[in-house]
């Protein structure tokens, strides 16, 4: 019984981590259709913002939940304002620009902070289930993922600004003819997606540590999750994160972690073969 509980918690944690890694990209790529190859580096910057500000003596939770999202949100504002906005609709130029940005951020982090891993010990300690112990921080990661996804859903579904943002992302031209300031709304959504990436990088930093090149471990999984989710980005990404997180963790339990990574890719390939437009291309079409 305790073993099943621990396995269940690890499965939930894998799903939550994948959802956190992907939710910022769900906004930026899934909704705004901006291919941000620097997404992994946005998480890396969030991780560093947290680790450095906590290391400088700032309260751990303020560093994690305020400073990291704010820092990456500000970075997102600059990137949208000076790069992305001018490349709107040009996919190749956007890929090249964000790829360049990714390399620049890696190089900058390596030059300024070095190639060694930095981190903060997971807070809270552990809890004992019979002969198994599990970090209480695992529960926190699950909680943050749930609160993030539910808050985003509630905001987009029921708030006035969420409705305006949905329209500006679905059909900017039409939204503008109805009087919406689509440039400002798209900037706001890019900043939101960036801030969510910063939050994810900070929340995962105590478990994964931070390195200049850690973004590479996040970006592929995030793109696979968002693309497999389909057109309805938030619901699709959440469902894909649950499916892939469960599959990879279950496979890792039954074999080795590397098999879990392979299982994730195999399930993604099969899923996209059966549902080429992603999970929400056929199901949950009215969702967000």
Partner 1 sequence: MLRVTGLCAGYASVPVLAGVDIDVRPGTAMAVLGANGMGKTTLMRAMMGFLTVTAGQVMLDGRDLTAEPPQERARAGLGYVPQGRGIFLRMTVRDQLRYAMIAKGRPAGNLSDVLDRFPVLMPLLDRTGDALSGGERQLVALACCLSTRPGTLLLDEPTEGLQPSFVDQILELLIKLKQQDSVTILLAEQNLEFAAALCDQVSIMRKGSIAATAPVAAIREASTDVDLLLAGEL
Interaction of residue 238 with partner 1, rule CB under 8 A: no
- Residue 117: strand, helix, or coil: coil
- Answer for which of 4, 82, 131, 173 binds partner 1 (CB under 8 A) is 173
Distance of CA 225 to the CA centre of its chain: 10
Beta carbon nearer to partner 1, 6 or 180: 180
Tell the smallest beta-carbon distance from residue 104 to partner 1 (Å): 31
Beta carbon nearer to partner 1, 180 or 275: 180
- Answer for which of 181, 256, 257, 258 binds partner 1 (CB under 8 A) is 181
Beta carbon nearer to partner 1, 72 or 164: 164
Tell the smallest beta-carbon distance from residue 244 to partner 1 (Å): 23
- Answer for which of 174, 258, 269, 270 binds partner 1 (CB under 8 A) is 174
Interaction of residue 177 with partner 1, rule CB under 8 A: yes
Each residue of 38-71: b (16+ CB within 10 Å) or e? bbbbbbbbbbbbbbbbbeeeeeeeebbbbbbbbb
* Site track for partner 1 across 24-43, x = CB under 8 A: --------------------
Contact 207, 137 (CB under 8 A): yes
Tell the smallest beta-carbon distance from residue 277 to partner 1 (Å): 12
- Answer for which of 3, 86, 256, 285 binds partner 1 (CB under 8 A) is 285
DSSP state of 57: T
Beta carbon nearer to partner 1, 65 or 180: 180
Beta carbon nearer to partner 1, 194 or 232: 232
Q: What region, left, alpha or beta, does residue 181 occupy, with left being phi > 0 and alpha being psi -120 to 50 degrees?
A: beta
- State the Cα angle at 142 between 140 and 148, rounded to 5°: 100
Return d(Cα 16, Cα 235) in angstroms, integer: 14
Beta carbon nearer to partner 1, 10 or 183: 183
Interaction of residue 231 with partner 1, rule CB under 8 A: yes
> How far lies 176's CA from each of 110, 167, 181, 186, in Å?
42, 9, 6, 12
Contact 148, 197 (CB under 8 A): no
Stretch touching partner 1 by CB under 8 A, among 21-29, 57-65, 143-151, 171-179: 171-179
Q: For residue 284, what are its two tokens?
A: 């949950």
The dihedral formed by the CA atoms of 91, 190, 220 and 212, expressed in degrees to the nearest 10: 110
Return d(Cα 123, Cα 140) in angstroms, integer: 10
Interaction of residue 89 with partner 1, rule CB under 8 A: no
Stretch touching partner 1 by CB under 8 A, among 39-47, 72-80, 180-188, 234-242: 180-188
Beta carbon nearer to partner 1, 133 or 177: 177
Interaction of residue 286 with partner 1, rule CB under 8 A: yes
The DSSP bridge partners found for residue 134 are 127
- Answer for which of 119, 166, 250, 283 binds partner 1 (CB under 8 A) is 166
* Host H or E run for residue 134: strand 132-135
Residues that bind partner 1 (CB under 8 A): 160, 163-164, 166-167, 170-171, 173-183, 231-232, 285-286
């Amino acid at each position: 019984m305790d073993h099943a509980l621990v396995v269940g918690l690890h499965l939930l944690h894998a799903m939550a981590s994948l959802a956190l890694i992907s939710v910022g990209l769900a906004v930026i790529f899934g909704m705004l259709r901006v291919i941000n190859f620097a997404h992994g580096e946005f998480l890396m910057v969030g991780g560093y913002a947290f680790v450095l500000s906590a290391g400088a003596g700032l309260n751990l939770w303020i560093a994690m939940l305020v400073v990291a999202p704010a820092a990456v949100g500000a970075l997102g504002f600059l990137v949208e304002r000076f790069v992305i906005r001018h490349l709107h609709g040009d996919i190749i130029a956007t890929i090249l620009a964000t790829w360049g940005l990714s390399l620049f951020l890696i190089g900058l982090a390596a030059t300024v902070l070095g190639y060694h891993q930095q981190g903060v010990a997971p807070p809270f300690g552990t809890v004992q289930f019979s002969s198994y112990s599990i970090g209480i921080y695992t529960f926190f990661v699950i909680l943050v993922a749930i609160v993030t996804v539910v808050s985003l859903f509630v905001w987009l579904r029921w708030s006035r600004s969420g409705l305006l943002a949905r329209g500006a992302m679905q059909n900017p031209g039409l939204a503008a003819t109805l009087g919406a300031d689509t440039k400002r709304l798209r900037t706001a959504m890019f900043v939101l997606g960036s801030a969510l990436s910063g939050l994810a990088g900070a929340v995962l930093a105590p478990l994964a540590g931070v390195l200049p090149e850690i973004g590479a471990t996040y970006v592929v999984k995030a793109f696979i999750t968002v693309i497999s989710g389909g057109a309805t980005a938030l619901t699709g990404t959440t469902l894909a994160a649950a499916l892939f997180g469960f599959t990879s963790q279950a496979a890792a339990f039954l074999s080795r972690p590397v098999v879990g990574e392979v299982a994730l890719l195999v399930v993604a390939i099969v899923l996209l073969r059966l549902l080429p437009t992603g999970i929400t291309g056929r199901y949950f079409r009215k969702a967000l």
